[in-house]
């Protein structure tokens, strides 16, 4: 027989002065993302940039901004970026998603947005919100996440034999 035990972990920390920004866009939003990145090139070049493969390629071709590229979203890129958020390596997510079109990897998209929310990083899902984030006081300053959020995980503990 096994016992069940709950363990708790907290989420929190600092978002440094130099941000680690993930840039992702669905196919119908890639041109919008590319134009937005080009308009904000001076700000973005002061930070570390990451993206899914096609979005990163298109932005780099237009802006010459260096972007670390992961796999395409449907091939696991959203999950790779989610893992980097969990590790604390990505601290801001700009994801121009297309709410009017179904995506084959919708569960991955939902998981990425959930992870970003759980880890309390800023998220922009459209150009207006992205503009607000880039013009924020915290874009060039450190942000301390004061609060912690507890997450609960159920762990199976084997009963000791004796």
User: What residues are annotated to the active site?
Assistant: 78
> Strands 143-158 and 2-15, how do they pair?
antiparallel
Alpha-carbon gap, residue 70 to 90, rounded angstroms? 13
């Amino acid at each position: 027989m096994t016992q069940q035990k709950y363990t708790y972990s907290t989420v929190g920390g600092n978002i440094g002065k130099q941000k680690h920004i993930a840039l992702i866009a669905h196919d119908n939003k890639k041109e919008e993302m590319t134009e937005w990145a080009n308009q904000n090139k001076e700000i973005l070049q002061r930070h570390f940039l990451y993206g899914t493969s096609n979005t990163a390629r298109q932005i780099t071709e237009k802006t010459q901004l260096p972007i670390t590229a992961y796999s395409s979203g449907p091939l696991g890129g959203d999950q790779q970026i989610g893992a980097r958020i969990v590790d604390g390596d990505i601290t801001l997510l700009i994801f121009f998603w297309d709410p009017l079109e179904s995506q084959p990897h919708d569960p991955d998209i939902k998981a990425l947005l959930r992870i970003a929310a759980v880890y309390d990083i800023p998220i922009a899902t459209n150009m207006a919100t992205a503009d607000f984030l880039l013009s924020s006081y915290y874009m060039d300053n450190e942000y301390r996440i004061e609060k912690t959020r507890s997450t609960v995980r159920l762990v199976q503990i084997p009963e000791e034999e004796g």
